């Protein structure tokens, strides 16, 4: 397809030019390298990477993500994920198929999708950050889409600004909570601007009816919503629904998001010191005219996730 960005254009800077990190070299063993090596329109097979907590891969006009699960045998433990059904995609309807890297550092990479030919200046970019429990997409004159092959739960399918609604339908709001049947996950979507979205049940889809210049974020606020998950419920299904333990903290911190990180390693006596300085932005609510958000006022608090060995090393203090 002529819309697909040529493989050699996956880098914003051509070969022989300095990249965003001031280097002529291109990373060959970064945690996100697969995002630019994948070929084909879906890229699921060879384009995924473990961002923590999501396994992610570039979709045609956005980024797909799945919560991984443990596959254990007598002598083998694997991190599995489902790229057929149990995933979601956050993207834009009016950008061309194909993405490129526009920025990267030790803990982040930013991918960008440009406008289709003849479709004006529509643009979408996603800062992908290790340890971020959110998917974050920045839009410039583009139409947000949240898509999945899963079904909406017919009884608890969608809430719009806290009010239960029924799909199919058209609703206006800035927060959308969707309960998905196959994964038993509740995904919450926050928008910097009021969206009028069309919703459907089969292959749950939220598509904005208009373009925005702003930010949309999405996160899993419960992965055992109705006790049906074979991997994430405390008991084997059918189990009791579990409370959304992380909904409150995710809601409180959705307004500030990281876009870059500076990592330094130093020695202090017999100890080693790992220092991470995060660069962040705030959601550009309608009273602001910033294209991609604005610097947060003062010192912002970011919500990030960590593995157990990170906690034991004190990286969360």
Q: What does the pLDDT look like over 116-172, one tens digit per residue?
A: 655 567 889 999 999 999 999 999 999 999 999 999 988 887 999 999 998 889 999
**CA gap 288, 213 in Å, rounded:** 10
In which region does residue 49 sit, left (phi positive, over 0), alpha (psi from -120 to 50) or beta (all else)? beta
Q: What is the pLDDT at residue 240?
A: 82
Residues 104, 110, 111, CA angle at the centre, nearest 5°? 125
Residue 131: phi and psi, rounded to 5, are 90, -5
* Of 143 and 7, more confident: 143
The pTM is what?
0.86
Paired strand residues for 264: 275
Q: In the chain, where does DSSP find H-type helix?
A: 34-37, 247-252, 308-312
120 class by beta-carbon count within 10 Å (0-12 exposed, 13-18 middle, 19+ buried): exposed
Condensed to tens digits (0 to 9), the pLDDT of residues 53-112 reads 999 998 888 999 999 988 877 888 888 888 888 999 999 998 877 788 888 889 999 999
Q: What is the pLDDT at residue 261?
A: 93
Q: How confident is the model at residue 3 (pLDDT cuts 50, 70, 90)?
A: very low
**CA gap 305, 91 in Å, rounded:** 23
Q: What is the pLDDT at residue 76?
A: 83
Q: What is the pLDDT at residue 46?
A: 64
- Give me 269's structure tokens: 């006596």
Residues 148, 150, 151, CA angle at the centre, nearest 5°? 120
How many Å is the Cα radius of gyration of the chain? 20
> What are the distances in angstroms from CA 252 to CA 62, 186, 248, 255?
25, 17, 6, 8
Q: How confident is the model at residue 196 (pLDDT cuts 50, 70, 90)?
A: very high
Does the pLDDT value for residue 50 go beyond 70?
A: yes
| Helix and strand totals (H; E) in the chain | 3, 19
* Of 201 and 216, more confident: 216
Does the pLDDT value for residue 259 go beyond 50?
A: yes
Q: What is the pLDDT at residue 285?
A: 65
Q: What is the mean pLDDT of residues 17-43?
A: 69
């Amino acid at each position: 397809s002529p819309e697909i960005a040529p493989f050699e254009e996956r880098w914003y800077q051509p070969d022989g030019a300095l990249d965003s990190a001031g280097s002529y070299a291109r990373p060959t063993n970064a945690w996100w390298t697969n995002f630019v090596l994948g070929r084909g329109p879906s890229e699921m097979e060879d384009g995924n990477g473990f961002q923590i907590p999501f396994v992610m891969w570039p979709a045609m006009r956005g980024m797909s993500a799945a919560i991984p699960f443990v596959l254990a045998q007598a002598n083998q433990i694997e991190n599995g994920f489902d790229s057929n059904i149990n995933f979601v995609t956050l993207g834009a309807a009016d950008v061309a198929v194909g993405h490129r890297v526009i920025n990267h550092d030790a803990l982040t990479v930013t991918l960008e999708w440009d406008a289709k030919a003849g479709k004006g200046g529509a643009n979408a970019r996603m800062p992908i950050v290790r340890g971020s429990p959110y998917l974050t997409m920045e839009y410039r004159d583009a139409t947000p889409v949240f898509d999945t092959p899963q079904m909406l739960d017919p009884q608890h399918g969608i809430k719009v600004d806290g009010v239960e609604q029924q799909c199919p339908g058209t609703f206006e709001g800035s927060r959308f909570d969707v309960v998905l049947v196959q994964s038993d996950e509740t995904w919450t979507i926050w928008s910097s601007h009021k969206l009028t979205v069309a919703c459907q049940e089969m292959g749950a889809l939220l598509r904005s009816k208009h373009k925005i210049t702003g930010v949309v974020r999405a996160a899993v606020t419960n992965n055992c919503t109705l006790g049906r998950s074979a991997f994430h419920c405390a008991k084997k299904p059918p189990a009791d629904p579990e409370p959304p333990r992380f909904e409150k903290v995710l809601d409180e911190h959705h307004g500030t998001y990281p876009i870059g990180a500076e990592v330094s390693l130093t020695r202090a006596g017999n100890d080693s010191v790992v220092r991470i300085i995060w660069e962040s932005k705030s959601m550009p609510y309608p009273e602001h005219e910033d294209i991609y958000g604005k610097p947060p006022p003062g010192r912002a608090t970011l919500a990030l996730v960590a593995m157990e060995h990170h906690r034991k090393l004190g990286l969360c203090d």
